[in-house]
């Protein structure tokens, strides 16, 4: 039964036709009955099926290795992908979409389904910038990261994923391009990994059409065609270590049955929030493991345009600006501005409000909202730690550097929105909106709307907004850095090729990491492509050492 409020706000959930050809990915089903540990053997076991795990699985299976992929999330086939927000967050995201830092200050979105983030992301495909590669090579000793090997890998990934420009530029994205152009700010259409896109606007719900060239369509599909086995709903507790080598993993299936996979090579690709805990429970003791968590903190501005834009329709992200990515001076961080698709549940949770009438008034105009996000390249960092109960504690406080970046992001997005013709601006999480034509006393999004105040006065407020814990709205869709790779055994839990190190600098034979945990710094752009590049590097190493 459809939500009765949808009609009142002019929202209709997307309904996309199904894929003509099903993906090759099929799960391996393990009998749930029996008390005995179920045992499998393989040449390599991969923990996690996201951007990194999928690439390693494809490369190893293509080379003739027997591969088992364990995914803690479920397998959801393309025809079964949800068409509504509540079901999508419940079935496809880590902790049902409710992951956050321990104090609740930062909401965190991370995929937890076969395909990982490649199943639920917005398909934005931006390679790591040359300056970041140079920094990683210089400061962390990553040989070749800024050379031809990386360039060759990028060409392969772009070809495999069919990366290209958007099939259309929806009104919410056109507003960014228009506003930026009028201000002389660089902006461009976003390249993405979609083929024959139906423009349904529901990328974050998974792709029923099969247009998204993520794991289900590319790397996991190739791995399965080459004989790999994918086991969903398998939560890995630890890697099994014996005499300085990894010899497999132990996991628990959804029904409680235990699973053991025996393999001479173990590649952990469970994501920056889960990989450190698996390594800790495996007996890896390294003082830096779990530290240097980067979240790419995000701030949001929503512009209300005169005409309806239906932000939930069309290409999810078709516009971005890299104009502010490079810092202006030492000690500053940069940020990327991107369009932000949203459906009513998510945007409704994010809008500030001070009365029921004001909130209802705002939601009645939601068809006119064109949101933008500023993704900051955080110089500060946090940590993740495994808890005794088997969970993860995420600690992260927005550093002063990032507070300044988040504020500047609000200011620049507000300027772009106004230049694009927005009649009202709302910086999500802030107590006031800019609405020069509002009647005295405010109304609309907030009773504290700055009625009639100048735009520059509003910008001044944004430039000093308090982003302290649980004051300003901050969220994260990118997590990285908790098992970072580099030359120094004291500063990097993984070496330059993804081998896991112990606290005394010894390499654990046959144990690798292949996900965003490896990033030695925040990279400042959407991480999928960079994860895949590093995963190819790790896969080559594993094959050479098989």
- Quickly state the pLDDT bin for 89 (edges 50, 70, 90): very high
Closest CA to 384 of 491, 505, 480: 480
Q: Say how many C-beta atoms besides its own lie within 10 A of residue 452's C-beta.
A: 12
Output the pLDDT for position 445. 40
**Tens of pLDDT, residues 299-335:** 999 999 999 999 999 999 999 999 999 988 877 899 9
Output the pLDDT for position 515. 99
Boundary (domain end) residue, out of 461, 476, 491: 476
In the block, tokens 């990261």 appear at 145
Indicate if 262 and 234 belong to the same structural domain: yes
In the block, tokens 């992951």 appear at 99
Domain annotation covers residue 9: no
Q: List, in sequence order, the alpha helices (H) in 93-237.
A: 117-120, 130-140, 148-161, 171-183, 219-225
Indicate if 313 and 414 belong to the same structural domain: yes
Output the pLDDT for position 34. 77
The model's pTM is: 0.95
Output the pLDDT for position 193. 97
User: What is the pLDDT averaged over residues 512-521?
Assistant: 98
Indicate if 472 and 482 belong to the same structural domain: no
Domain annotation covers residue 106: no
Q: How far apart are CA 182 and CA 169, in angstroms?
A: 18
Domain annotation covers residue 207: no
User: What is the pLDDT averaged over residues 239-244?
Assistant: 97
Indicate if 521 and 401 belong to the same structural domain: no
pLDDT at 447 over 50: no
**Tens of pLDDT, residues 29-72:** 898 787 789 999 999 999 999 999 999 999 999 999 999 999 99
**Tens of pLDDT, residues 103-121:** 999 999 999 999 999 999 9
Closest CA to 528 of 192, 93, 109, 208: 192
Q: Which domain holds residue 312?
A: 295-476
pLDDT at 441 over 80: no
Indicate if 471 and 484 belong to the same structural domain: no
Indicate if 321 and 372 belong to the same structural domain: yes
Indicate if 256 and 380 belong to the same structural domain: no
Greater model confidence, 322 or 144: 322
Q: Say how many C-beta atoms besides its own lie within 10 A of residue 332's C-beta.
A: 14
pLDDT at 364 over 70: yes
Indicate if 467 and 375 belong to the same structural domain: yes
**b or e along 114-148 (b: 16 or more beta carbons within 10 Å of the residue's beta carbon)?**
bbbbbbbbbbbbbbbbeebbebbbeebbbeebbee
Output the pLDDT for position 122. 96
Indicate if 158 and 227 belong to the same structural domain: yes
Greater model confidence, 12 or 1: 12
Instruction: Using a pLDDT cut of 90, give the percent of the chain over it.
Output: 78
């Amino acid at each position: 039964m459809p939500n009765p409020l949808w009609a009142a706000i002019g929202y209709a959930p997307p309904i996309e036709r199904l894929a003509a050809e099903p993906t090759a990915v099929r799960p391996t089903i393990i009998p749930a009955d029996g008390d005995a540990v179920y045992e499998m053997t393989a040449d390599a076991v991969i923990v996690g099926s996201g951007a990194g795990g999928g690439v390693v699985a494809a490369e190893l299976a293509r080379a003739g290795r027997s591969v088992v992929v364990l995914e803690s999330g479920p397998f959801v086939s393309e025809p079964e992908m949800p068409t509504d927000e509540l079901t999508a967050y419940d079935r496809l995201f880590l902790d049902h979409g409710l992951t956050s830092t321990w104090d609740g200050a930062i909401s965190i979105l991370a995929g937890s389904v076969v395909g990982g983030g490649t199943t639920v992301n917005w398909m934005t495909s931006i390679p790591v910038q040359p300056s970041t590669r140079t920094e990683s090579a210089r400061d962390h000793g990553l040989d070749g990261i800024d050379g031809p090997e990386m360039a060759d890998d990028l060409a392969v990934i772009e070809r495999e994923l069919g990366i290209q420009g958007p099939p259309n530029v929806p009104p919410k994205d056109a507003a960014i391009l228009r506003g930026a152009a009028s201000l002389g700010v660089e902006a461009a259409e976003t390249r993405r990994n979609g083929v024959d896109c139906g423009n349904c606007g529901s990328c974050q719900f998974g792709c029923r059409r099969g247009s998204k060239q993520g794991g289900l369509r590319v790397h996991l599909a190739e791995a399965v065609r080459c004989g790999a086995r994918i086991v969903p709903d398998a939560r890995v507790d630890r890697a099994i270590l014996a005499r300085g080598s990894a010899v497999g993993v132990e996991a628990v299936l959804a029904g409680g049955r235990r699973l053991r996979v025996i393999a001479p090579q173990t590649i952990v690709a469970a994501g920056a929030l889960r990989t450190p805990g698996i390594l800790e429970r495996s007996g890896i003791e390294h003082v830096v493991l779990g530290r240097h968590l980067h979240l790419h903190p995000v701030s949001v501005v929503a512009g209300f345009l005169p005409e309806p834009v239906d932000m939930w329709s069309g290409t999810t992200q078709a516009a971005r600006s890299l104009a502010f990515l490079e810092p202006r001076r030492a000690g500053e961080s940069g940020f990327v501005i991107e369009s932000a698709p949203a459906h009513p549940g998510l945007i409704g949770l994010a809008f500030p409000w001070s009365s029921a009438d004001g909130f209802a008034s705002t939601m009645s105009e939601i068809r006119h909202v064109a949101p933008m996000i500023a993704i900051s390249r955080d110089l500060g960092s946090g940590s993740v730690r495994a808890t005794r109960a088997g969970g993860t504690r995420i600690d992260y406080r927005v550093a002063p550097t990032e507070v300044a970046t988040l504020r500047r992001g609000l200011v620049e997005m507000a300027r772009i929105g106004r230049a694009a013709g927005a009649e009202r601006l709302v910086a999500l999480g802030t107590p006031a909106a800019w609405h020069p034509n509002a009647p005295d006393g405010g109304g609309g999004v907030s009773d504290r709307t700055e009625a009639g105040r100048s735009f520059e006065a509003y910008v001044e407020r944004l430039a000093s907004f308090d982003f302290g814990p649980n004051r300003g709205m901050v969220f994260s869709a990118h997590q990285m850095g908790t098992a970072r790779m580099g030359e120094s055994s004291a500063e990097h839990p993984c070496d330059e090729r993804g081998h896991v190190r112990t606290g005394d600098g010894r390499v654990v034979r046959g144990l690798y990491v292949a996900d965003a945990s490896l990033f030695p710094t925040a990279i400042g752009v959407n991480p999928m492509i960079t994860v895949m590049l590093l995963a190819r590097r790790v896969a080559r190493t594993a094959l050479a050492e098989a």
